[in-house]
């Protein structure tokens, strides 16, 4: 449970490993080019890597704009799930967001993704609105969740 984990900023060198986890985790995975764009072009992007002695086990993408932080994606390698790594990664990402000046942190989750919603709720996120037919593979609705660090 108390596995040694390092949290650090993602670089271009991590794209292949992150992309592998992305494709194992999402039905609409981002492309490698999208991650490349995030690393080299997007001034607002900050991606956090979770690394153990097994290599890169997860990542969490943030867009930081003024006092708002949007979580673009978070995933833990399937064979490493259920060991509190997602929780520790999300907590690390929340600390980074605060350090970078964010007051509000938001994200979307598929309405069927109760695992992710449980994690966010556990860390203080509240339900916001619903974005109807948000996901283009099955037109599932997205639940918007948010946390205000000042509350």
Ligand X SMILES: CC(C)(COP(=O)(O)OP(=O)(O)OC[C@H]1O[C@@H](n2cnc3c(N)ncnc32)[C@H](O)[C@@H]1OP(=O)(O)O)[C@@H](O)C(=O)NCCC(=O)NCCS
Cα 136 from Cα 95, distance rounded (Å): 32
Q: Which residue is nearest to ligand X (CB)?
A: 86
Is residue 118 a contact point for ligand X (CB under 6 A)?
yes
Using CB under 6 A, which of 116, 143, 146, 147 touches ligand X?
A: 116
Note if 51 is an active site residue.
no
Note if 59 is an active site residue.
no
Is residue 42 a contact point for ligand X (CB under 6 A)?
no
Is residue 62 a contact point for ligand X (CB under 6 A)?
no
Q: What token pair was written down for 126?
A: 């509240």
What's the full length of the chain, in residues? 151
Q: Which of 55, 10, 54 is nearest to 35 (CA)?
A: 10
What are the beta bridge partners of residue 69? Answer: 64, 105
Residues lying near ligand X in the complex (CB under 6 A):
25, 74-76, 81-87, 109, 113, 115-116, 118-119, 122
């Amino acid at each position: 449970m108390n596995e040694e984990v390092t949290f650090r900023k993602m670089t271009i060198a991590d794209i292949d490993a992150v992309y592998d986890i992305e494709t194992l985790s999402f039905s609409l995975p981002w492309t490698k080019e999208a991650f490349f764009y995030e690393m080299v072009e997007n001034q607002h992007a900050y991606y956090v890597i979770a690394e153990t002695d097994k290599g890169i086990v997860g990542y969490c993408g943030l867009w930081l704009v003024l006092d708002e932080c949007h979580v673009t994606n978070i995933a833990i390698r399937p064979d490493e799930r259920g060991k509190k790594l997602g929780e520790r990664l999300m907590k690390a990402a929340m600390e980074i967001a605060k350090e970078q000046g964010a007051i509000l942190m938001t994200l979307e989750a598929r309405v069927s993704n109760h695992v992710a919603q449980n994690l966010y709720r556990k860390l203080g996120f509240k339900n916001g609105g619903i974005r109807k037919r948000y996901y283009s593979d099955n037109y599932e609705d997205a639940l918007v969740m948010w946390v205000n660090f000042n509350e």
